[in-house]
Structure 1
Amino acid sequence: MTVQFSSDDDLARQTRRLLESLKTDADRRGWTFHAPPPKAAIPDFAEDYEPDALIITPDGGVMIAITTRSSLARNTRLAEIAQRVSEQPGWSFRIFYANTSDPPEPSAPPSTVEEIASGITEVRALDETGHERAALLLGWATLEAIARLVMDRHGMGPARPLSPIQAVQVLVQEGYLDDEDARRLRSLARVRNEIVHGGLGTAISRRDVTGLIEDLEAMAGALRQAA
């Protein structure tokens, strides 16, 4: 098991809340949720690994580990397990963090495909009128909206707020971005972060903004086809 409870009641309570939230989301979709999962429900490819929770879907399932950020830094095995699970058709591996702080306020529901399309139109209009910085920031907001909708569709738990790098990672894992596009967007994320944190003089390439718009349009098209 990934989680080891001690006398820390706050950690145990936070973990229970997280599991309850995941179960509610799975029940809403008509999926089977186990926490902890019985050995008979754990697929053979997990070998001796016992996840903290397991979601069974019509196409496969989601193996879930719950940990703290400090514990994750010491747990090198999770990367190996995540790789093994990702190689199985229909299966994914998700890590959720429990901590002793109060749980965050529930985030807004994920955007619709129509709202994402409207966002892309606004990004393009800003770019075409010479507002590259505004276009870049709204473009990243739209990219996160796409990632959160992908999370919702693929049963990856409540569609929580994501950092730019997390959003890119979700889209790579679920096949909406290839590795080359992901590398370019991770580099562009640094430019986005500089602007957000006061770098008003940060130079922006028009080509970078155009590339971001093209990525958004391609992913939005994939979302429409998958709907």
Structure 2
Amino acid sequence: MIDFAAAERNALDEYLPRLNARGYRVVRRPARADLPPFLADYDADAVATGPDDNIIVEVVTKGSPTAQSKIRRLREILAGHPDWRLEVIYGGDGERQVPIASLSSIEQAVANLDKLADARAALLLAWASLEAIARNLEPSETIKPQTPGRVVELLAAGGFVTPTQAELLRNMANIRNQLIHGNVDLQPSAGQLQELIVTTNELLSLLKTQPQVGVLS
């Protein structure tokens, strides 16, 4: 079964930081006070205001029964307001359940981190291990694919990492994102990578003390 709320949340997690980086003030799930009068009755996913224009962000997930009608309505509303425009982002096909990795599989992956000569490969495997650990620690919160930023916030909110470790993970998440999108010139420093490996090992040790959840097929 498609979880449209999870698909929307993950799409916004991925997209809204780009608007922030472009200088927009972004409000997620805005209240009436955050909207102009002509949008006051509209249930917006997000709005972004800037010096030159303003954006209403609408998430569309494949299979949503109301997506196209919402887009048509928004275009009609915005037609008389040239200082506002619509940006539609797509939440994929609707995330489905992701299996929870076994403890032995995670242990094997973490054990291989120090064996990888390429720092980029080690970072990506460390991040995969980190997310696998997060799924075990917070199974009800990670049924669907998670953005790197949400993985970090889940670990921080749950008290599984310290504020210093959370900041490290945010920085490493940025490097991870650039790597998987083709910036192969970027490499983590030896110090950063070692801190990530240490943090991952500490989380693995913590996981071993927790009741194990069942592996989903």
Give 1:71 shift: 8.9
Residues 223 and 107 of structure 1: is their aligned pair in 2 closer, same or farther, counting only changes over 3 Å?
A: same
The answer (yes or no) to whether the contact 2:119–2:187 under 8 Å persists in 1 is: no
Give 1:219 shift: 0.5
Residues 151 and 200 of structure 1: is their aligned pair in 2 closer, same or farther, counting only changes over 3 Å?
A: same
Residue 108 of structure 1 is matched in structure 2 by 98
1:217 and 2:173 aligned: no
Counterpart selection for 1:178 from 142, 156, 162: 162
Give 1:163 shift: 1.2
Unaligned runs of 5+ in 1: 1-12, 19-65, 77-97
RMSD value, Cα: 3.1
Give 1:107 shift: 3.1
Q: How does 1:196-207 map to 2 (within 5 A)?
A: 196-207=180-191
Give 1:100 shift: 5.1
Q: Secondary structure at the match of 1:177?
A: coil
Q: Distance in 1 between matches of 2:94 and 2:183?
A: 28
Q: Distance in 1 between matches of 2:180 and 2:61?
A: 29
Counterpart selection for 2:126 from 125, 128, 139: 139
Query: How many residues are aligned here?
Result: 140
Q: Distance in 1 between matches of 2:31 and 2:203?
A: 33
Residue 160 of structure 1 is matched in structure 2 by 144
The answer (yes or no) to whether the contact 1:132–1:209 under 8 Å persists in 2 is: yes
1:73 and 2:10 aligned: no
Q: How does 1:2-151 map to 2 (within 5 A)?
A: 72-75=28-31, 101-102=62-63, 104-126=94-116, 130-151=117-138
Asked which structure has the greater CA Rg, the reply is 2
Residues 106 and 180 of structure 1: is their aligned pair in 2 closer, same or farther, counting only changes over 3 Å?
A: same
What TM-score results when the alignment is normalised by the length of structure 2? 0.56
Unaligned runs of 5+ in 2: 13-25, 33-58, 64-92, 212-217
The answer (yes or no) to whether the contact 1:142–1:216 under 8 Å persists in 2 is: yes
The answer (yes or no) to whether the contact 1:148–1:161 under 8 Å persists in 2 is: no
The answer (yes or no) to whether the contact 1:14–1:100 under 8 Å persists in 2 is: no
The answer (yes or no) to whether the contact 1:149–1:159 under 8 Å persists in 2 is: no
User: Taking CA–CA contacts closer than 8 Å with sequence separation of 6 or more, which of the two structures ends up with the larger relative contact order?
Assistant: 2
The residue type paired with residue 124 of structure 2 is L
Residues 189 and 105 of structure 1: is their aligned pair in 2 closer, same or farther, counting only changes over 3 Å?
A: closer
Give 1:173 shift: 1.2
